[in-house]
Amino acid sequence: MYLGVFGGCFFPFMAIVGRKIGATEFQIALLVSAPYVANAFSLFWTEDMFGKGRVWYVVWPAAVGRALLFGMFIVVSPFWYTFLIYVYMVVTAIPFPSYAAIMKTNYPDDLRGRLMSYVRVGHAVFWVAASAGAGFILDLDTDYYRYVFPLAALFGVLSALRFRHIRVRGEKKERSGIGGLGQLAAPFKNSAFVRFISAYSLFELGLLVALPVYPLVLVDEMAISNAIAGIYGSIFSGAWLAGFFFWGRLLDRFDIKRVMVVFFIAASAIPLVYLYSRDTVVIGFAQGAAGIVFAAVELVGYVVITRLCTAADTARFMAVHIALGGIRGATAPFLGTMLASSMGPSFVFTLGAALSLCAALYTFAAYEGLIRSGHQRG
């Protein structure tokens, strides 16, 4: 519940509000790239360096990072708005390797996709309502973000603190060395991991090159209201909810190759809708497609990587995966805004769709022998 309210009141409006208070194309690219660039810092948190146990690294960085958004109450300039969100993203990237390790330890391989999806379904239900409510409030005055975002942060902090009740089976809390760039070597010796990363990189480049251009089109060309942005957020989260059911079952029942081909083809639908229409209703379908795709984004990486490696290696493999996402996130959104400025948004949407379809073709043609069930390893 708490996480759903936090996400629904904040994420659908992050870039839209930024643009409306005067953020430049570069700052919008920064906002979009922030979650991905921040993920690169998670590479340094693959080990239990304080001897606190994995749950500690999920709870306290998330709580502190979300609490930073209380600062939105005094933020009025695009620069500080962008800066505060960037710092928040960096701090809240710390939990990802530990969260993956907890999922590996606590959930069996053949049920992990469905169990993780059920947890997120509860989040999505409250996200739908929160998006609509926050959109209505922000439509009264965009400057009300100074109250909506801190209120969302309160629910985010409460959500993080609730995670303290999770227990990791058989965990030994021992200090270990600090993670770093040396962690990159081992996962690349796993050929199945390399094939997964190659396919996923093509997809994510296509996703990220177009991602900052969507809010620019919505605000600059379509001039959507905050209420419509809230409705889009609800559509996104409703499809996100359905997507967890869909992908969770697919991941547990079918081989990864088949699931990933479907995933990448679905991702191409988002830029294709924007390529051919600026109609408010039609763009709603793109929001639905985005919800389904981002449900897969949340599940696929965790499920694939936790099946590829042992429990001891899960945090390391996950850290490398999201660190590489950080590298892609540091380049593709800025390339997208530059291309949109020089070539037009339609060129960017075409490129985004083409990269996603290339990922599907690569997966179909060359992605053999990764994982065929939850009990097998690559």
Which pLDDT score, from 0 to 100, does residue 28 have?
92
Instruction: Report yes or no: 3 and 130 within 8 Å, Cβ to Cβ.
Output: no
pTM of the model: 0.76
Contacts of 185 (CB under 8 A, 6+ apart): none
User: pLDDT per residue over 338-372, tens digit each?
Assistant: 999 999 999 999 999 999 999 999 888 865 544 44
* Residue ranges of the chain whose pLDDT lies below 50: 369-378
Q: In the prediction, which pLDDT does 222 show?
A: 94
In 3D space, the residue among 290, 254, 255, 240 whose CA is nearest the CA of residue 269 turns out to be: 290
CATH 3.40.50.300 fits 2-162+186-366, yes or no: no
pLDDT tens readout for residues 25-38:
999 998 888 877 77
Q: What pLDDT, on a 0 to 100 scale, did the predictor assign at position 97?
A: 62
* pLDDT (0 to 100) of residue 83: 93
> Residue 69 has what pLDDT?
95
Instruction: Give yes or no for a contact between 150 and 72, defined as CB atoms under 8 angstroms apart.
Output: yes
> Which residues, 6 or more positions from 159, have their beta carbon under 8 angstroms from its beta carbon?
2, 3, 6, 62, 66
- What pLDDT score does 376 carry? 41
Distance CA 141, CA 360 (A): 43
